[in-house]
Structure 1
Amino acid sequence: MVHMVTIKLTPTNYLLWRRQFVPLLESQELMGYLDGSLSAPVAQVHAGNDLVPNPAYKKWHTQDRILLSLLYASLTEECMAEVVNCTTARDAWLALEVSFSHSSKTRELQLKDELQLM
C-alpha cells in the first residue's frame, strides 16, 4: 500500500495528504484503527485458571503496526517529529491532525479567498 500513497505529508499539505490516505484505508477496512471504532481487545484472556495471550489482540496489534508503518512511510522527515512518541496508529493519526489540520484549514480558506478575488 505504500506505493499507493504518492503525496508525503509536509507541514503545508495536510488536507491533500489526508484526502489520499482516508479512501485507501477505507478500501482496506482499516479506518477503524484510526477513528477509534476498532479499539484494541484485551491482551490476555482467561483459559481456566491461567492467563493466555489473546489471539484477537495479536491480530489487532499486527494490523496496527502495519498501519503505523504505513503512516510513517507517508511522512516527510520534518513531520516524523510529531509522531515520534506515538505507540499506536490512532495516536499518530490524532497527533498529526492536531499538529497540521488547523494550519491546513487556514490555508484552504486563504486559497478560497484568493480564488474569489480573481
Structure 2
Amino acid sequence: MEPSNPNLLEGYDLHHFIDDAHTPPPPTITVTSVASLNPAYTTWKCQDRLIFSALLGAISVSLQPLIARTTTSLDAWQTLANTYAKPSRGHIKQLKEQLKRCTKGSKSISEYMQEIKTRVDELALLGKPVDDEDLIDRVLEGLSDEYKSVIDVINALDTSISFAEFHEKLLNKEASL
C-alpha cells in the first residue's frame, strides 16, 4: 500500500515499514547450527517502534485506540487506511452532520474543541479538509451566550486568528466564568 504522503518516510528510507511488499528480517539467525538474535531484526524493531510512535502521535487522541492493539507500524498503517482511506460519501456526510451538531453544552472548552477537532481531522483524512477560518466559525456557532463577548471580538476581527490563539481566548474566557 502506498502512503498518501510518503515524503518523510521516503526521505529517511523508511517507507518500506508501511509497505506490505517488504517483510521484516527474521528475529533470529542460525550460524553453524547455533541460533542467535539477528542484529538486523533488532535495528528493524527499534525503527518500527519509532515509526509507530510517530503515527500514534500524528493522529487525534480519539483515534489512538484504533491502533493501540496493533503490533507494528505496518499493522497500524493498514488499520488506519482500512478505516479511513476509502471514503464513502455517506461517511463524509455523517461526519459533516456530526460537526454541525456539536455544541459546547456542559463540556469544558478543551473537550468541546477536541470533539470538533476530531471530526475535522477525520474529514481531512478523507480528503475533505476544513480550513481554520471555517473551523473557528464552527466552534463559535456551538458556543452559548456566556461566550458572547469572545464571539463578538472574533467576528469583528479584520484578519484571521490562528486556531491556537482562538483556543487560548476561549480558555481565558472559560476561566473567568
* TM-score normalised by structure 1 residue count: 0.68
Alignment-derived partner of residue 97 in structure 1: 81
How well do the aligned residues superpose, as a CA RMSD in angstroms?
A: 2.3
Q: Deviations over 1:2-30 (max 9, x none)?
A: xxxxxxxxxxxxxxxx65x5211111111
Cα distance in structure 2, aligned partners of 1:76 and 1:110: 16
Cα distance in structure 2, aligned partners of 1:109 and 1:65: 27
Identity of aligned residues (%): 24
Cα distance in structure 2, aligned partners of 1:100 and 1:110: 12
Q: Alignment partner for residue 38 of structure 2, among 45, 54, 76?
A: 54
Q: Deviations over 1:33-66 (max 9, x none)?
A: 1012432111111122221001111111111111
Q: How does 1:29-108 map to 2 (within 5 A)?
A: 29-103=13-87, 106=89, 107=92
Cα distance in structure 1, aligned partners of 2:64 and 2:11: 25
Q: Which amino acid aligns with 1:87?
A: T
Q: Which amino acid aligns with 1:52?
A: S
Gaps of 5+ in 2: 93-125, 130-177
Tell me, yes or no, if structure 1 residue 28 matches structure 2 residue 12.
yes
Cα distance in structure 1, aligned partners of 2:28 and 2:64: 32
| Bigger radius of gyration among the two | 2
Q: After the TM superposition, list the runs of 4 or more consecutive aligned residues in structure 1 that deviate by more than 2 angstroms.
A: 105-111
**CA apart distance, 1:110:** 8.0
Higher relative contact order (CA 8 A, sep 6+): 1
Kindly tell me: are residues 101 and 50 of structure 1, through their superposed partners in 2, closer, same or farther at Cα, counting changes over 3 Å?
same
Kindly tell me: are residues 46 and 99 of structure 1, through their superposed partners in 2, closer, same or farther at Cα, counting changes over 3 Å?
same
Q: Which amino acid aligns with 2:73?
A: A
SS in structure 2 of the partner of residue 81 of structure 1:
helix
